[in-house]
Amino acid sequence: MNQLTQAQLDSINQMQAEERYDYFISTLLEQKQVWGLSSDSGWLILPDEDEEHLPVWPHAELAQAWAMGDFADCQPKAITLDEWLDKWLPGMIEDGLLIAACPGTDNDSIIVAADELLDELREAGDGQA
């Protein structure tokens, strides 16, 4: 995949959370991978009251934009679509971990349960077969 230009990054980050979510789904299915942030301590998990969210993005550059401040020690790390569908999402369902889909630079994102995302990806993926 080609690296995103700054104009493309800006355009994606200017989308409303719902638009970024739709973009996340279609790009994940097209690119066949998702990106999270990882450090020596493990994957970045964001606490929010009584829930925890795993932030993920469809491009490494979007994830990298988050790797600053408190998260400066994190690096984008890819997860293949097969691994995401077969291992990650079922494990997140079991653990009750939610997904923050494509958070923008404004920190706004759609928070989705792993079982809902799994169903949506499988349904959308069937349409692409």
Q: Where are the domains of the chain?
A: 37-128
Pick the CATH number of 37-128 from 3.90.1010.10, 3.10.110.10, 3.40.1350.90, 3.40.50.300: 3.40.1350.90
Cβ-count burial of 56 within 10 angstroms (0-12 exposed, 13-18 middle, 19+ buried)?
buried
Predicted confidence at residue 129, as pLDDT, reads 40
Digit-by-digit pLDDT tens for the chain (129 residues) are 568 889 999 999 899 999 999 999 999 999 999 999 999 999 999 998 889 999 999 999 999 988 888 889 999 999 999 999 999 999 999 999 999 999 988 788 999 999 999 999 988 877 554
DSSP 41-100: TEE--EEETTEEEEEEBSSHHHHHTT-SGGGTT-EEEEEEHHHIIIIIHHHHHHHT-EEE
How far is Cα 36 from Cα 23, in angstroms, rounded to an integer? Answer: 16
Query: Count of CB atoms within 10 A of residue 59's CB?
Result: 24
CB atoms closer than 10 angstroms to residue 117: 25
Q: 74 near 65, Cβ under 8 Å?
A: no
Chain CA centroid to CA 17, Å: 12
Q: According to the model, what pLDDT value does residue 45 have? A: 95
pLDDT at 108: 87
